Amino acid sequence: MMINGIGVSPGIAIGKARVIKKQEAAFTGIVLLNDADVMIEIEKFRTAVAISITEVEAMIGNYDPSQGTDGMDILEAHIELLDDPQIREDVTEKIATERKNVNDAVIEVIQNAVAMFKSMDDEYMSARAADVRDIGNRILKNLTPFNTTANQAYDADTIIIAEDLTPSDTITMDITRIVGFATQIGGKTSHAAIIAKSRGIPAVAGCGESLQSINDGDIIILDGQTGTIAVNPDEGIIKQYESQREGWLKELELLRLLKDTQAKTLDGVEIKLFANIADAEEMEYALGFGAQGAGLFRTEFLFLGRNDFPSEDEQFEFYKAVALKSKDKPVIVRTLDIGGDKQLPYFNFPEEQNPFLGYRAIRFCLDRKDIFITQLKAILRASAFGNLKIMFPMIANINEIRAAKAVLEEAKNELINENIDYNKAIKVGVMIEIPSAAVMADLLAKEVDFFSIGTNDLTQYTLAVDRMNEKIKDLYDPFDPGVLRLISNVIEQGHKNNIEVGMCGELASDPRATLLLLGMGLTEFSMSASSIPQVKNRIIRSSLDDARKVYEEVMKMDNSKAIINYCRR
Amino acid sequence: MISKDYIITSAEGIHARPATALVKLTKNYKSIISIKKGERVVKLNSLLNILSLAAKGGETISIIAEGEDEFVAMEAIEQFFNEHLKDL
């Protein structure tokens, strides 16, 4: 059987399927018929609770005390909630009196408790809803034995099959044994795609529901270039793909050889090729691909997959590790970009109609100055150990950048008072990802040392296309003439005001766009490490004159199809 | 049955950490121990119920203990509210 999706990370993978199922808390509506069934369901509940408690106790046993006591306290509270007589009584009552099965009873009791906490006007208390939900999910998971979760050990050559993967899924995965990813939803910018690309693992997204027909252990061939997946193919097809895979690996090796080649156009213009990274490990990996720095260090990853906000010291160590690993190459540290589609287990973001237009990134940070200043101090401290720059995300107007800079000054003053060293000349920039910021780049340029164009959100906001929505994903198009004009304006205004301009969105890694962007005057490209060689390959074969011609021609075209066709040549 | 009032001395009130400690403490005694805030009375053996009271710093709550070891239990709880709570 063949399945078609979107190729989001190139390469050929051949391996065995591991299907990751999300615990969907769905009501079954089953009504118990007799007392024997009631006894069985109550017993199932007891067993699931006992397993859950054992699991959390094991987590307490493995707890690293150097992580502070907060995580430990939360685990102990979870034990008490799992063992809570009120919850037990309510669940038993629903089974015995209302004749619900244990699944439905647990869902209802947990939902009620979550609603109760959420309705409290105290922020701390309403955040406890997450704890109740967490223990509820644990019990539900343990009601069905032998279910697959993302946390299990993988065989070698595993291909992960999932509806979608959250950042915390990917954090807990042992990525070394995974050779491919396939997801039902998502596209080039979904988390699984980003992780796969940064590690050079082939991936296909947006495969749709046909992916559900794949079972654990099925032989899977996945082509991350064309987006094709073959399920249990015959010998002939396997042979054919094996030779393709060898070809791909050779090509990869060839491109790796480009690692130490300077990214210079035929007429001698030096271009900076940076990597987008999430931690020190990825920084090291990126250097292996010849990255000359990091154009986007996403700091969110330290904040995910844990139980509380990381302390200043912990953040400092995390940023310092990247600074040291980069060996004085520039690293642009983006301040916290959470909210929207990136949720934290320990902070309750309000439910929103339009999360991408909502309480997130700099808006959240300016509102929660305590969290913001802690991060800024940690970054400043780490700036004493490498060439770090600070970048604020989601800036929409001049007030936000001024307010963010004021908090940065406060952070600096606190460090001066505490007698702690930092780089006094640290550069400050903004991510240009909101159309208003791109349009008024001339005004913003007066406030900062550099721009970095985030094409993913810029495209989504400019074209009013939710990039996660399957139905309209074709409308999401960074080659749209409207988007390209905004990008061109940002580059032009940046140069007029003598500030650096880089690009850290997906477009920077697309070899079809390389000449066009060069022609606009872009000299700094940041992308997933594995894309650097192919972009470099493009640069070293072109001259700035060629690039300018491409730009001029493209600006005459009125639709992205014509533009892409022209750029592809 | 004995009953006693306490003022919550910790600024954050009875949040998850002290509530967990209270549940654990209560398990050492045979008496049925309850906590009352306003008109609501809940048993101290349920973390969910204690948290649902949302008892804040400075508020007054009553503890009610009933059973063979109610005096010893109340003594331990007194120590908890007067000495330990502010450190939790």
A500 touches chain B (CB under 8 A): no
Beta B60-66 vs B2-7: how paired, if at all? antiparallel
Most confident of A26-40, A80-94, A145-159: A80-94
Do A57 and A72 meet the contact criterion of CB atoms below 8 Å apart?
no
* ipTM for the predicted complex: 0.88
Residue A147 pLDDT:
44
Say if strands A294-298 and A272-277 run parallel, antiparallel, or are unpaired: parallel
Concerning whether B15 is annotated as a catalytic residue, the answer is: yes
The mean pLDDT of A402-414, rounded to a whole number, is: 97
Look at residue A132 in the predicted model and tell me its pLDDT. Answer: 87
Distances (CA, A) of A7 to A169, A229, A320, A474, A536: 21, 10, 35, 14, 21
Q: Is A380 on the interface with B (CB under 8 A)?
A: no
Q: Is B41 on the interface with A (CB under 8 A)?
A: no
In sequence order, which residues have a C-beta less than 8 Å from that of residue A159 and are 6 or more positions away? Answer: A13, A15, A16, A17, A18, A178, A179, A180, A181, A182, A220, A222
CA dihedral over A375, A381, A384, A386, signed as positive or negative: negative
Catalytic residue among B4, B6, B14, B15: B15
CA distance A360 to chain B (A): 27
Which domains are delineated in chain B? 17-69 (3.30.1340.10)
Q: Which of B51, B53, B56, B87 has the most A C-beta neighbours within 10 Å, making it the best mutation to test the interface with A?
A: B51
Q: What local confidence, expressed as pLDDT, does residue A22 receive?
A: 65
Domains of chain A: 2-21+149-254 (3.50.30.10), 35-143 (1.10.274.10), 263-568 (3.20.20.60)
Give residue A64's pLDDT: 66
Asked if the model's pLDDT at residue A249 lies above 90, the reply is no
**CB-based contact (8 Å) between B51 and chain A?**
yes
Chain B residue with the nearest C-alpha to that of A116: B52
Poorest-pLDDT segment among A291-300, A334-343, A494-503? A334-343
Please state which of the ranges A83-92, A191-200, A343-352 shows the lowest mean pLDDT: A191-200
Residue B72 pLDDT > 50: yes
Q: Which residue has the tokens 């406060």?
A: A410
pLDDT of residue A534: 85
pLDDT the model gives residue A299: 95
Closest among A445, A455, A447 to A499, alpha carbons compared: A445
- Which residues have a Cβ under 8 Å from the Cβ of A155 and sit 6 or more positions away? A16, A18, A177
Give the C-alpha separation, A401 to A213, whole Å.
49
Mean of all residue pLDDT scores within chain B: 90
Name the least confident of A61-75, A112-126, A341-355, A555-569.
A61-75
Indicate whether A18 pLDDT > 50: yes
3-state helix, strand, coil in chain A (%, to 5): 50, 15, 35
The mean pLDDT of A498-527, rounded to a whole number, is: 96
Mean pLDDT for the stretch of residues A207-226 = 92
For residue A317, the one-letter residue type is: E
What pLDDT shows up at residue A250?
Answer: 82
Maximum alpha-carbon separation in chain A: 85
- pLDDT at residue A172, as a whole number: 56
Q: What is the pTM of this model?
A: 0.59
Whether residue A436 contacts residue A395, with contact meaning beta carbons closer than 8 Å, is answered with no
CA A503 to chain centre: 17
Q: Kindly list the residues from chain B whose CB atom is less than 8 angstroms away from the CB atom of residue A74.
A: 16
pLDDT, one tens digit per residue, over A302-348 is 998 788 899 999 999 999 999 999 988 999 999 999 987 778 878 88
In this predicted structure, the answer to whether residue A43 has a pLDDT above a threshold of 80 is yes
- Asked if residues B76 and B21 have their Cβ atoms less than 8 Å apart, the reply is no
pLDDT at B21: 92
Work out the pLDDT band at A133, boundaries 50, 70, 90. confident
Residues A168-183 have pLDDT tens digits of 466 556 778 899 999 9
Alpha carbon separation from A54 to A49, A60, A142, A201 (Å, rounded): 9, 10, 11, 35
Among the listed residues A442, A450, A364, A455, the one whose alpha carbon sits nearest the alpha carbon of residue A403: A364
Output the pLDDT for position A70: 65
Residue A129 confidence class, pLDDT cut points 50, 70, 90: confident
**How far apart, in whole angstroms, are the C-alpha atoms of residue A223 and residue A228?**
5
Range in A35-49, A57-71, A257-271 with the lowest mean pLDDT: A57-71
Average pLDDT score over residue span A406-429: 96
CA–CA distance, A249 with A179 (Å, rounded to integer): 13
Q: Has residue A293 got a pLDDT over 80?
A: yes
Rounded to a whole number of angstroms, the distance from the CA of B10 to the nearest CA of chain A is 14
The length of chain B, given as a count of residues: 88
Instruction: Determine the residue among A73, A89, A121, A125 to mutate to test chain B binding: the one whose Cβ has the most chain B Cβ atoms within 10 Å.
Output: A125
Picking from A72, A85, A136, A131, the residue whose alpha carbon sits closest to that of residue A108 is: A136
pLDDT recorded at residue A256: 73
Q: How confident is the model at residue A146 (pLDDT cuts 50, 70, 90)?
A: very low
- Say yes or no for a CB contact (<8 Å) between A85 and B19: no
Among A314, A302, A468, A434, CA closest to A377: A314
B59 touches chain A (CB under 8 A): no
Q: What pLDDT score does A24 carry?
A: 60
* Span A139-158, average pLDDT: 70
> How does pLDDT run across A115-126, given as a tens digit for each residue?
888 888 776 777
The Cα–Cα gap between A50 and A109 comes to 18
* CA-based nearest residue in chain A for residue B23: A80
Q: What is the mean pLDDT of residues A272-280?
A: 94
Is B46 in contact with A85 (Cβ distance < 8 A)? yes
* Res B3 pLDDT > 90: yes
Q: Please, which contacts does A234-240 make with residues 24 or more away whose CB atoms are closer than 8 Å?
A: A238/A14
> What average pLDDT does this structure show over A287-313?
91
Under DSSP, is residue A72 helix (H, G, I), strand (E, B) or coil? helix
8 Å CB contact between B60 and B54: no
pLDDT at A351 over 90: no
Are A567 and A484 spatial neighbours (Cβ–Cβ below 8 Å)? no
Question: What is residue A189's predicted lDDT score, i.e. its pLDDT?
Answer: 65
Q: Contact at 8 Å (CB) between A224 and A12?
A: yes
Percent of chain A with pLDDT over 70: 94
Lowest-confidence segment of A68-82, A399-413, A536-550 by average pLDDT: A68-82
Check residue A150 and give its pLDDT: 45
